[in-house]
């Protein structure tokens, strides 16, 4: 079975969120077989920084949904947008 890269845009609830701390906490307890491949923090609007992240996971049904459910557990996360899924 192959792997896929999932591109996720994570928007914090407001500008007070420490995105470096949030990224660290996301990395700490990822669901099994899901890896954080890379992260880029970019300014958005009104002082909010968004997180653009690449996650690597098995090319199996259910893994993107599992990742999305995991990310929604963080109270600092306002919005999640899975923008692309590509095989590697």
Which residues of the chain register pLDDT less than 70?
none
CB-based contact 13:78 (threshold 8 Å): yes
Helix (H) or strand (E) run with residue 43 in it: strand 35-43
Structurally, how many domains does the chain consist of?
Answer: 1
Backbone phi and psi for residue 46, each to the nearest 5 degrees, phi listed first: 50, 35
pLDDT of residue 67: 96
Look up the domain containing 69 and give its range.
Answer: 3-87
pLDDT of residue 47: 86
24: Cα within 13 Å, side-chain hemisphere? 5
pLDDT of residue 45: 87
Q: Summarize pLDDT for 33-53 with one digit per residue, the tens.
A: 999 999 999 999 888 999 999
CATH of the domain at 80: 3.30.70.60
Q: Is the pTM of this model over 0.75?
A: yes
Rounded to whole angstroms, the Cα distance separating 48 from 37 reads: 23
pLDDT of residue 1: 72
């Amino acid at each position: 079975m192959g792997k896929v890269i999932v591109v996720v845009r994570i928007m914090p609830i407001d500008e007070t969120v420490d995105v470096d701390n949030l990224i660290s906490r996301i990395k700490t307890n990822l669901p099994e077989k899901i890896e954080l491949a890379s992260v880029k923090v970019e300014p958005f609007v009104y002082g909010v920084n968004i997180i653009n992240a690449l996650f690597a996971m098995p090319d199996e049904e259910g893994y993107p949904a599992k990742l999305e459910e995991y990310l929604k557990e963080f109270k600092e996360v306002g919005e999640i947008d899975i923008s692309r899924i590509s095989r590697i």
